[in-house]
Amino acid sequence: MNTNSPHYSPEFSRPESPTRRRVLGTSVALGASLLGGAVWTRPAYATTEEMTAAIRKFANGAAVMPGRVRLAISPIVDNGNTVPVEISVASPMTAADHVTHIALFNERNPQADVVNFYLNHRAGRAHVATRIRLATTQKLVAVARMNDGSFWSHTVEVIVAIAACLEGDEV
Partner 1 sequence: MTRALITLPKSARKGDTFEIRAVVGHPMETGFRPGADGKTLPRNIIERFECHYNNELIFKADLFAAVSANPYIAFHTVATTSGSLRFTWTGDQNFVHTETVALEVT
Q: Would you tell me which residues interact with partner 1 (CB under 8 A)?
A: 41, 43, 81-83, 106, 109-111, 113-120, 122-125, 127-134, 164-171
Residue 97 C-beta: closest distance to partner 1, Å: 15
Closer to partner 1 at the Cβ: 23 or 72? 72
CB-CB contact of 45 with 136 (8 Å):
yes
Closer to partner 1 at the Cβ: 10 or 168? 168
CB-CB contact of 46 with 131 (8 Å):
no
Residue 27 C-beta: closest distance to partner 1, Å: 26
CB-CB contact of 145 with 117 (8 Å):
no
Residue 42 C-beta: closest distance to partner 1, Å: 8
Q: What is the dihedral of CA 29, 170, 105, 162, to 10 degrees?
A: -50
**23 CB-side CA count, 13 A:** 12
Contacts of 51 (CB under 8 A, 6+ apart): 105, 106, 107, 112, 139, 141
Closer to partner 1 at the Cβ: 64 or 163? 163
Residue 161 C-beta: closest distance to partner 1, Å: 16
Closer to partner 1 at the Cβ: 23 or 115? 115
